[in-house]
Amino acid sequence: MAAREKQNVTISVRLETVRKARILAAQRSTSISGLLEQQIELLVAQEEEWARGQRSAEALMDQGFHLGGVISATRDEWHER
C-alpha cells in the first residue's frame, strides 16, 4: 500500500463517545476519522520509536562495556578448594 492510500476501517464505539468525539473534532477543525487517524499514527510512531530504542539497547548490551576493572586472578585461583 502506498503512503497516501487509505483503507476504510469499521469500529463500534459507544454513542456517548461518538457524541464527545464529534465535539472534539469540530473544535479541532477535523472529523472523527481525522482524529482517529492522527491518534493511530501517533501510537504506531511511538511503538516504532520504542522498538528502535529496544534494539539499540540490546545491541549495546551485546557489545558490553569495559568499566576499567582488571581481573587479577585466574579461574583456577577463584575456584581453589
pLDDT reported for residue 65? 83
Amino acid at 70: V
pLDDT reported for residue 2? 67
**DSSP 8-state class, residue 3:** T
The domain locations on the chain are 15-65
Give the largest CA-CA distance in the chain: 78
Which residues of the chain have a pLDDT value below 70? 1-2, 81
pLDDT reported for residue 1? 56
Cα 56 to Cα 58: distance, rounded to the nearest angstrom: 5
pTM over 0.75: no
